[in-house]
Copies of this chain bind each other. A is one copy, B any other.
Amino acid sequence: MLQGYQSWKFDSRPAIAGTAAVVGPEEGRGPLGNDFDIVHGDLSLEEKTWEKAEKKLMEEAAKLAIENAGVTKEKINFYVGGDLMNQIISNSFAARTMAIPYIGIFGACSTSMEGLAVASMMVNARHADYALAGTCSHNCTAEKQFRYPIEYGSQKPPTAQYTVTGAGAAVVTLRGGGPKAPVVTKATIGRVIDMGIKDPFNMGAAMAPAAVDTIAAHFRDFGIEPGHYDMIVTGDLSNVGYHIALELMAKHRIPIEQTTYGDCGLMIYDRDKQPVQSGGSGCGCSASVVYGHLLKKVRTGEIRRLLAVATGALLSPLSFQQGESIPCIAHAVAIEYGGD
C-alpha cells in the first residue's frame, strides 16, 4: 500500500529467500571479506575486457542468489536490474544469459535499493511469485567510463571514492526462505535533489542531501523516528558525505543518535590500510554490503530492523562537461528479522 506521499508498506511480508554477494580482491581484503559468497583474486575474472568481467560478477551473484533461495531460475518471474554502465549493459547482457523477463532500471549507486523496492512491491502486490533484484559495479569499468582508465595511473583528491568491484542479488517471494527469512516491510522512493555541487570527485558531498531528504521522508510517511531501527545505513556516502549527512540530520532535527548509523562505503574497506580515499562507491557497494554482510545479521536477529538507504549520483560525463551540477537520489528499504 501507498503510505504517505512517497512510501510503500508491504503488508504481505515479502521475504528475502536468498541473496548473494560476489566481489573482487580489494573488497575481499577489507573488513567484510569473509561475508561475501565469492571473492575473486583477480580483477579480470579471466575475461578479455573489464566490461565482460563486470557482467560475469552479475551473473554469478544472480545465479547464486537463486540457488541460495532454493529455487531454479525458471521459477523467477522478473529480474529487476541495472548498473552504472552506459545503457546498463552489464545487467542487460546478464538478463540475456538468464532469459528471465527483465525490468531494466537505473538509479546510479541507488540502483541496489531501487531494485529491491520494486521487486518487493511486485511480490507484495502478487504481481510476481518470485522476483530477483540485482546490481553490480567494477572499479575498472567505472573509472574508465566516468573518469580515466586505471591504467593511466591518474591521481585523485582525498574526497574521491573507490568504485567497488562487486555484485549483489536477492530473491524476493511470499513462498519461501524459511520462517526466519528477512522480511521487506517498507520502502521510500526518493526525489532528485541537487544542491549545486559540480565536482565529480566529491560524490559523497553531492549525495548526502538526497540521503537525508529520503530519510526524512521515510520518517514523515510512517510517523516513526530513527529509534524504530536498530541500524540505518546509507549507500555510499563514504567519509566526506557521511559527516555532511550527520550535520544535515542535526540541522533538520532528525535524532539519528537514537540508532546506529553506518555507511556502506565506510564499512567495506579499511581506509587506513586500503587505497580508497574517502571510501567505497558504486552500485556494488551497498548491494554487496547489504546482501553479503548486513542480511547475515538480520537472519540471526542480531539486527532486527534495518533501514538501507542507497544513494546515487545521476550525472553523466556529458552532463558534467556541459556544466551541469550533479542531481542525486536515494531510495530506502526497511528489512526486518523474520522470526518476530
Question: Which residues of A are at the interface with B, using a C-beta cutoff of 8 A?
Answer: 1-2, 5-6, 8, 49, 51-52, 77-78, 82, 84-89, 92-93, 95-96, 99-108, 114, 118, 121-122, 124-129, 189-194, 314-319, 322, 324, 327, 329
Contacts and interface: CB of A to CB of B under 8 A. Distances in A.
B87 A192 contact: no
A192 B92 contact: yes
Given A118-B118, A190-B101, A128 B2 contact: yes
Contacts of A2: 77, 126-129
Given A86-B317, A127-B125, A319-B93, A191 B101 contact: yes
A322 B51 contact: yes
Nearest to A78: B189
A111 to B, nearest CB: 8
B319 A99 contact: no
A315 B121 contact: no
A104 B100 contact: no
Contact of A102 (B100, B126, B191): B191
A129 B6 CA distance: 10
Contacts of A322: 49, 51-52
A316 B85 contact: yes
Interface hub of A5, A106, A108 (most chain B Cβ within 10 A): A106
Copies of this subunit = 2
Nearest to A104: B106
A2 to B, nearest CB: 5
Contacts of A95: 191-192, 327
A301 B191 CA distance: 37
A86 B316 contact: yes
Contacts of A193: 96
A314 B106 contact: no
Contacts of A106: 82, 87-88, 104-106
A121 B100 CA distance: 19
A118 B87 CA distance: 19
B103 A315 contact: no
Nearest to A329: B102
A92 B314 contact: yes
A195 to B, nearest CB: 11
Contacts of A92: 192, 314, 327, 329
B105 A103 contact: yes
Closest 10 CB pairs of A and B: A125-B125, A92-B314, A87-B316, A6-B101, A96-B192, A101-B189, A86-B86, A96-B327, A104-B106, A95-B192
Contacts of A107: 103-104
Given A101-B190, A125-B126, 14 more contacts: A82-B104, A86-B316, A88-B314, A92-B192, A95-B192, A96-B193, A96-B194, A99-B191, A100-B191, A102-B191, A103-B114, A104-B329, A124-B127, A125-B127
